[in-house]
Structure formats: C-alpha cells, structure tokens
C-alpha cells in the first residue's frame, strides 16, 4: 500500500496514549530519535485537547480492556481515537494491547468480541489474545529485519502475554515486517473457534504495517534499542 505524502511541520508531535500501561518508555525512545529535517516532540495523551495537537499516535501495551474503558470515560476521547485510527493520513502504532485494539475482532478461548467498535486501524486482521499461554507468557526472540538500520544486528523482541495474529484476510494488503522464528511459534488456536479457522501461516506475523498504520505484538520499548521506533517514524510518520 503506497503512502500519500503529506505536509508535516518541522516539529512533529507524537502522542503516546497514557491511560495505562508502558507509555513512558515509548516517550523516552521517541525523544531519542533525530530524523533528518524534523524534530520529534513526544507527549502523553490523556485528554481530547492533547490528542488534537498530534500528528501521530502510539497505543502502548497494558490491558486493552482497561485502556478502552478509561478512554470511553474521558469526554470525546474515544470518538477522536477512532477517527484518528481511521484517517489514512495519521500514523498510528499499536504495541501488544494496542495491537488488540487495532484488530477487526479479537478472541480468547470461546469468546469473540471487538473491544471498541470502529477502532479497526489495520483492517482485515483478527487476533487471538494470550495464545502463548502460561508457559510462554513472557519470552524473548531475536528478529532479523532487513529494513532496520544496522540489519545484521537482530532486534531482541520481548513478548509479554502477547497477542498473536489469528488470520489476515486475503484483501487486507498488510505488509509483514517481521516473523517469529519457528521455534517460538505459539500452538495454533482451535479450528472451531468463534473467530473461524486460524491461518497457521499468519501465527508468527508479529510485526505488520499497512500505510501509516503499524502493529507489533512485542514490546519494542523495553529492548533498549530504538530501531523499531525509528522505523515507524521514518516509514509511517514521515512516509519516506
């Protein structure tokens, strides 16, 4: 999917949804970036006027139910977040719980639901929550990504009760940035789940991009490595 160029100010304000979860780390990582010709100002977002200052948004990890419930109790915020996620000119990145919020539907066990109606940032993606189970609730996996700066150095991806892609629709036009190495793959969800039959080839797709939208099922803000943030700012925020 090609990105339409847009006029961006010299100082780009990036909001990090700060209702709950790991937001402060995202702010610190974003503030370290020095993209050519622009300055990044990263701010926490708790209210509608704060969101309205932003050109781009990060939805961090945390509890997706808690995040959506707090957002819906803050005047105007949830509606504005939904608009933001739908606007093709706005860059949005969801990590972990943020990825769940960007899915069309998400499920766990026998359940199927959509956390927040309309917040379909990626389009055509179903996710399965907590597929990795208790044994693998947290783990680290090296990802090799040719499009990162210094590509020969693997990115140490940290997964904490990570969501997994259940399936991508064939029309989704989603670009896969990184796959989980085979030895880390979760067990496939049951074939007869309410989400429909999983696509086992999609299970390891832990980093996806579509236009200015991006999702990662891991926590790049805990790796001590700013390259995923740098990737998102260059490709999705600046569109270059």
Ligand X SMILES: *[C@@H]1O[C@H](CO)[C@@H](O)[C@H](O)[C@H]1NC(C)=O
64 is in an annotated binding site: yes
Q: Strand pairing of 138-143 and 125-128?
A: unpaired
The burial class, CB within 10 Å (0-12 / 13-18 / 19+), for 46 is: middle
63 is in an annotated binding site: yes
Question: Closest CB to ligand X belongs to which residue?
Answer: 37
**CB 38 → ligand X: shortest distance, Å?**
9
129 is in an annotated binding site: yes
**CB 236 → ligand X: shortest distance, Å?**
15
Identify residues 173-202 at the interface with ligand X (CB under 6 A). Answer: none
In sequence order, what E strands does 132-212 have? Answer: 138-143, 155-160, 164-168, 175-179, 205-210
152 is in an annotated binding site: no
Active-site entry in 25, 219, 229, 230: 219
Which DSSP string do the residues of 74-123 spell out, in sequence order? STTHHHHHHHHHH-TTSEEEEETHHHHHTSSEEEETTEEE-SSTT--SSS
* H or E segment and range at residue 65: helix 64-72
Q: Residue from 37, 134, 135, 152 that binds ligand X (CB under 6 A)? A: 37
Is 234 among the residues known to form the active site?
Answer: no
Q: Residue from 2, 36, 135, 183 that binds ligand X (CB under 6 A)? A: 36
Identify residues 48-87 at the interface with ligand X (CB under 6 A). Answer: none
**CB 37 → ligand X: shortest distance, Å?**
4
Lookup: tokens for 108: 């766990």
Lookup: tokens for 214: 């991006």
Is 230 among the residues known to form the active site?
Answer: no
**CB 40 → ligand X: shortest distance, Å?**
14
In the complex with ligand X, the residue whose CB is nearer, 116 or 237, is: 237
In the complex with ligand X, the residue whose CB is nearer, 91 or 215, is: 91
94 is in an annotated binding site: no
The burial class, CB within 10 Å (0-12 / 13-18 / 19+), for 73 is: exposed
Identify residues 149-178 at the interface with ligand X (CB under 6 A). Answer: none
240 is in an annotated binding site: no
Active-site entry in 25, 96, 120, 236: 96
Rounded-to-integer distance, Cα 240 and Cα 236, Å: 8
Q: Strand pairing of 11-17 and 39-45?
A: parallel
The burial class, CB within 10 Å (0-12 / 13-18 / 19+), for 124 is: middle
Is 54 among the residues known to form the active site?
Answer: no
9 binds ligand X (CB under 6 A): no
Q: Which residues bind ligand X (CB under 6 A)?
A: 36-37, 240
Which residues are designated catalytic? 96, 219, 221
């Amino acid at each position: 999917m090609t990105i339409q160029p847009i006029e961006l100010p010299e100082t780009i304000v990036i909001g990090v949804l700060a209702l709950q979860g790991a937001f402060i780390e995202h702010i610190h990582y974003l503030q370290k970036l020095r993209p050519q010709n622009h300055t990044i100002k990263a701010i926490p977002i708790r209210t509608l006027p704060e969101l309205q200052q932003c050109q781009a948004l990060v939805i961090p990890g945390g509890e997706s139910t808690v995040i959506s419930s707090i957002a819906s109790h803050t005047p105007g915020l949830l509606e504005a977040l939904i608009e933001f996620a739908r606007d093709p000119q706005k860059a949005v990145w969801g990590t972990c719980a943020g990825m769940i919020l960007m899915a069309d539907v998400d499920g766990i066990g026998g359940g199927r639901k959509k956390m927040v109606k309309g917040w379909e940032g990626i389009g055509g993606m179903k996710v399965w929550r907590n597929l990795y189970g208790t044994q693998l609730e947290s783990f680290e996996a090296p990802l090799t990504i040719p499009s990162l700066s210094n590509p020969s150095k693997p990115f140490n991806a940290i997964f904490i009760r990570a969501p997994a892609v259940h399936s991508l629709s064939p029309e989704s036009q989603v670009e896969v940035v990184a796959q989980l190495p085979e030895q880390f793959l979760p067990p496939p969800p049951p074939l007869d789940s309410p989400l429909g039959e999983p696509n086992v080839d999609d299970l390891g797709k832990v980093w996806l991009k579509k236009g200015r939208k991006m999702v990662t099922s891991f926590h790049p803000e805990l790796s001590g490595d700013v390259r995923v943030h740098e990737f998102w700012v260059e490709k999705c925020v600046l569109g270059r």
